[in-house]
Amino acid sequence: MFKDGGIEGVMVRKLNKYSDARGWLMEIYRHDEIDQEYIPVMTYLSLTKPGVARGPHEHVDQADYFCFAGPSDFKLFLWDARKGSATYLNRMVFVAGESAPTVVIVPKGVVHAYKNVGDRDGLVINCPNRLFKGQGKKDPVDEIRYEEDKDSPYRID
C-alpha cells in the first residue's frame, strides 16, 4: 500500500556537534532555519526504554519538531496520510539518534512512530507548534492513535 520515498513537508536535518576540551554543543533549534508554521510553542523531553515504540499516531493540527541526539538510536517511521499531498501514501524509514543526530519536522496529518533500537534508555526532545491540550490544558489531546488498531496499515517492524 505504501511506497518508500520522501514526504512533502517533512524536514530531516543532520545535527552538527561542535566539540572542544569542555565537551560538545548541538544547535537543535534556530528560528531562521524553519518555516513560520513550525515555530515551537513548548518543549518536552521523553525517555523511551530499549525495544519500546511510541506511535503510530498523527495530529490534526499539530506539527512535531523532534530532536534525536542520543543517548541511544531510534528507528523512525513516517507515513503520508494526507490525501491532498503530492506524496500521499509515501513512507519514510530511517535511524536517528546517537549514531546520527537528527532533527525531524513532522507536519500535521503525517502518521509517525519511533522505536528505541538501541540497548539503553533513549531521550527525545520535542518542540511542537501547538500546546499540549491547548491553553491551560483545557482542550482534547490532538492525536489520532493507531497503536491498538490491529487493522491499521501503519506497521512498524
Domains identified in the chain and CATH numbers: 3-19+26-132 (2.60.120.10)
Phi, psi (rounded to 5 degrees) for 38: -105, 10
pLDDT above 90 as % of the chain: 96
**Rounded Cα distance, 48 and 109, in Å:** 23
SS3 138: coil
What is the Rg, in whole angstroms, of the alpha carbon atoms belonging to the chain?
Answer: 16
What is the mean pLDDT of the segment spanning 60-84?
97
With H, G, I as helix, E, B as strand and everything else as coil, classify residue 49: coil
Q: Which of 24, 157, 153 is nearest to 90 (CA)?
A: 153
The amino acid that residue 64 corresponds to is: D
pLDDT of residue 156: 92
Q: What is the pLDDT of residue 157?
A: 79
Selected residue with higher pLDDT from 33 and 79: 79
Give 30-67 pLDDT, tens digit per residue: 999 999 999 999 999 999 999 999 999 999 999 999 99
- pTM exceeds 0.85 for this model: yes
Residue 125 CA to residue 44 CA, distance in Å, equals 6
3 neighbors 89 (Cβ within 8 angstroms):
yes
Question: What is the pLDDT averaged over residues 91-103?
Answer: 97
Chain centroid to CA 91: how far?
A: 14
